C-alpha cells in the first residue's frame, strides 16, 4: 500500500521514566509509520503522581532517540484525541504486554474513537523479554537500591542513580 501523505502516529503515556520496553515499541511503530510523536501526558492531564517532572521525562526520551529524526518527544495537556488531531496524527500506538493490560487499553481505544472517529488505535506486542517490564517496577527497584541498568538506557539510568544513589553492590 502506498500513501500520498506521511502517516503520523502518536505514542502517548506517562514514561516515568522511559524503559527499554517503551523503546522496543517505538522501534516497532517506526516500521509502520513515517513519523512518531512520543507524547508524555502532563500532570494536569494525568492524575498519577510522578517521580520525574514531565520535562525531564521528555528530555530522557529525546536523549534516547537523538539519532532518530522520525521521533519527536513532547508533552501534552488535555485530551489525547485533541492533541492528536492538532498534530495531524491519525493513529495511537499502545504497547500490550499481557492480557491484563487489555481491558483498560480496549476501553481507552473505544472511548478515544468515540471522542474523535478520525483516530485509530494500534496495539503492539513488545519483545517477550520486556513483557514483565514497567516504569513503576523500575522506579520501585531503583528506589530500593536495585540495579535497573538492563531495563533502561544509560542516560535514564544515570538520572535514576542521581535520584536514588548507586545500586547495591552484589
Binding site for ligand PNS (CB under 6 A): 12-14, 41, 45-46, 79-80, 108, 111-112
Cell of 157: 539510568
Task: Give the residue nearest to ligand PNS (CB).
Answer: 13
From the CB of 34, what's the least distance to ligand PNS, in Å?
Answer: 22
From the CB of 60, what's the least distance to ligand PNS, in Å?
Answer: 14
Nearer to ligand PNS, 78 or 165 (CB): 78
Question: Which residues, 6+ apart, have CB-to-CB distance to 123 below 8 Å?
Answer: 94, 95, 96, 105, 109
- Count of alpha carbons within 13 angstroms of residue 149, beta-carbon side: 7
**Hey, which residues are catalytic here?**
22, 48, 97, 135
From the CB of 48, what's the least distance to ligand PNS, in Å?
Answer: 6
Cell of 156: 535514564
Three-class SS state of 36: strand
Amino acid at each position: 500500500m502506498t500513501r500520498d501523505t506521511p502517516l503520523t502516529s502518536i505514542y502517548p503515556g506517562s514514561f516515568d521514566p522511559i524503559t527499554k520496553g517503551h523503546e522496543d515499541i517505538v522501534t516497532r511503530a517506526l516500521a509502520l509509520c513515517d513519523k512518531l510523536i512520543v507524547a508524555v501526558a502532563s500532570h494536569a492531564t494525568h492524575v498519577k503522581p510522578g517521580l520525574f517532572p514531565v520535562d525531564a521525562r521528555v528530555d530522557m526520551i529525546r536523549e534516547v532517540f537523538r539519532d532518530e529524526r522520525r521521533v519527536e518527544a513532547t508533552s501534552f495537556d488535555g485530551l489525547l484525541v485533541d492533541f492528536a488531531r492538532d498534530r495531524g496524527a491519525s493513529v495511537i500506538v499502545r504497547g500490550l504486554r499481557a492480557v491484563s493490560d487489555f481491558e483498560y487499553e480496549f476501553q481507552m481505544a473505544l472511548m478515544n474513537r468515540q471522542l474523535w472517529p478520525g483516530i485509530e488505535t494500534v496495539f503492539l506486542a513488545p519483545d517477550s523479554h520486556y513483557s514483565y517490564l514497567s516504569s513503576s517496577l523500575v522506579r520501585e527497584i531503583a528506589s530500593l537500591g536495585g540495579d535497573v541498568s538492563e531495563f533502561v538506557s544509560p542516560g535514564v539510568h544515570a538520572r535514576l542513580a542521581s535520584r536514588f544513589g548507586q545500586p547495591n553492590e552484589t
